[in-house]
Amino acid sequence: MQAHLAAQDDDMWYVITDGQMKILKMNTAAITTEGAPQMVEKHRSEWTDEDKKKENLDNVAKYIIYKTLDKNMFAKIKTCTTTKEIWEKLTQLCEGNDHTKENKLTVAIQKFDNTKMKPGETLAEFNERFSSIIIELISLRKDYSNREIALKVMRALPREWDVKP
C-alpha cells in the first residue's frame, strides 16, 4: 500500500513539473531498430481504472493548489490551464527570475552585515529579528557557518555587553 502511495506521489509531482500524463501502451505491430516495442497513446476505451486515475491527476493537483491560494494569488493564475502552467507561474511570482533572486540575496546579505542590536531592544527581540534574517538567507541558498553567525551576534551587541577585564 505504501509503495502504491509513493508511486502516486511521484506521478502527482510529475504532473506538476512535467505536465499532463499520457496514457501509453506498447505498439506490438511496430518494433524499433533496437528491438524494443514502440509506445503509442491508448484510446480512452482501453483505459483501466489506474489509467483513469493517472489521467485525472492534473485536475487533482490543480484542485489542491487552488485550495491553498488566497484570492489575490488565485487571480494571478486562474487563466492557466494545466498544473504545470500554474506551477511555473507561481514559481515566477514567488521566486522571481535569476536577476530578482540575486537582488534579494544582495539585500539579505546587507541586512546580515549591518545587523546591530538597537538601543532598548531586548535580547529576545534581537534574536527574533536576527533569526528572521538567517531564515531569509537560508531560503535564498546562502549559508553561514555557526562560527560566522556567533561572531556576527557578538559584534552586533552594544558596547555595554563587552566583557570587562
DSSP states along 38-63: EEEEPPGGG--HHHHHHHHHHHHHHH
SS3 72: helix
Query: What is the C-alpha separation between 78 and 93, in angstroms, rounded?
Result: 13
Residue 114 or 6, more confident: 114
> Does residue 92 surpass a pLDDT of 70?
yes
The reported pTM is 0.54
Q: What is the pLDDT of residues 46-71, one digit of tens each?
A: 889 998 888 899 999 999 999 999 99
| Confidence (pLDDT) at 34 | 64
> Does residue 1 surpass a pLDDT of 50?
no
Instruction: Find how far residue 32's CA is from the centre of its chain.
Output: 39
Residue 4 or 30, more confident: 30
| Confidence (pLDDT) at 30 | 66
* pLDDT grade for 24, boundaries at 50, 70 and 90: confident
Q: Could you give the C-alpha distances from 149 to 112, 122, 127, in angstroms and in order? A: 9, 18, 12
